[in-house]
Structure 1
Amino acid sequence: MTAAALSQPRLRAALPFATVGAACVVGGGVVAAATAHAPTEHALWAVAYLVLVGGVGQLALGAGQAWLAGAPPSTAVLAVEFAAWNVGNAAVIAGTIAGIVWLTDVGGVLLVLALALLLTGTAGARPGWLLRGYRALIVIVLVSIPIGLVLARVRG
């Protein structure tokens, strides 16, 4: 990492995503431990979602933007990205577990908003394989959102 990548504004940009992302990974472990004696389909799904989307995905997206962006995003942009990502994830989890499809849909829309902002946040980034990988992650998550929303309706 370069000194610029580790600058205070970049660390501040990554910290909220890293903190909540790590908490989601731990939360997924807690849910797994709490439901291990009698796992359900929703519990297994929630563990996977918390760890992969809420945790690892959030860590990668937040840190990636902070590191790759030509300039660190503003506090206002970070706040909207962070809120949209985390409220969206909470809505997807709550809507799926409770069987409230419209809530899952609202969560999906918020996730798309967050991903669009995270993508535009790297507009001034230097080209390279890390940027391509970051953008590929965004595309993978974007493609998975409508698939998940359809599955929520089918299984609803």
Structure 2
Amino acid sequence: MTDRRATPAAALTAIGAACVVLGGLVAAVSGPLHLALGSWTAAYLVLVAGVAQYAMGRARARRPRTGRRMPWAWAQVGAWNAGNALVIGGSLAGIPWLVDVGSVLLLAALVIAFRATWLASVPRWVEAAYRVFLVLLAISTVVGVAIAHLRA
């Protein structure tokens, strides 16, 4: 019998894929509806909420199975998605402190992801590239906070 419980890796991957689709839908309607931040929202949904989350899910799925529980794995899923919701909501509403709170959650999720980068059956350079990817996401989060405050 197969264990059919949801895993954090599957959740990150599925939600990431859904965000890519949602970002495409936002892109499709942002022009005709003349949405001021439509292209930014679409790009954010696709790249940050979608592709980055999908990559974190795939990396988490590559972790060796140790039999140990990973208590922070679900925290990563929650922090990443709540953080993205707050960043998008704060940006669209012009409320920089919401972007700040969301960014703190995103950074927490990235720390959890970075600590979980002991990947199985991948070359060292793949693991190193993934860690660089996470660091670049953290840097872009800080830059995004600065932009949100300048724009508000």
Into which bin does the TM-score normalised by the smaller protein fall?
A: 0.7 to 0.9
User: Aligned residue for 1:139?
Assistant: 135
Find the aligned partners of 1:55 and 1:137 in 2 and give their Cα distance.
Answer: 14
Gaps of 5+ in 2: none
Residue 82 of structure 2 aligns to which amino acid in structure 1? V
Task: Select which of 118, 138, 144 maps to 2:113.
Answer: 118
User: Aligned residue for 2:145?
Assistant: 149
SS at match of 2:71: helix
Question: How far is the alpha carbon of 1:127 from its aligned partner?
Answer: 6.4
Q: Does 1:51 align with 2:46?
A: yes
**CA RMSD of superposed structures (Å):** 2.4
Find the aligned partners of 1:25 and 1:123 in 2 and give their Cα distance.
Answer: 26
SS at match of 2:7: helix
Task: Select which of 125, 129, 135 maps to 2:125.
Answer: 129
Find the aligned partners of 1:46 and 1:65 in 2 and give their Cα distance.
Answer: 26
Task: Select which of 22, 30, 43 maps to 2:17.
Answer: 22
8 Å contact from structure 2 (residues 63, 118) kept in 1: no
The 1:104–1:64 alpha-carbon spacing in structure 2 relative to 1, beyond 3 Å, is: same
Q: Does 1:82 align with 2:77?
A: yes
Find the aligned partners of 2:22 and 2:151 in 1 and give their Cα distance.
Answer: 24
More helix by share: 1
Question: How far is the alpha carbon of 1:69 from its aligned partner?
Answer: 5.2
Q: Give the TM-score taking structure 2 as reference length.
A: 0.87
Q: Deviations over 1:66-122 (max 9, x none)?
A: 214574873532210000000000000000000111100000000000000111112
SS at match of 2:117: coil
Percent identity over the alignment? Answer: 39
User: Aligned residue for 1:108?
Assistant: 103
Q: Deviations over 1:1-42 (max 9, x none)?
A: xxxxxxx79x93421011100110111111112222144441
8 Å contact from structure 1 (residues 25, 50) kept in 2: yes
Gaps of 5+ in 1: 1-7
Aligned length: 149
SS at match of 1:76: coil
User: Aligned residue for 1:5?
Assistant: none
Find the aligned partners of 2:110 and 2:150 in 1 and give their Cα distance.
Answer: 25
Find the aligned partners of 1:119 and 1:98 in 2 and give their Cα distance.
Answer: 31
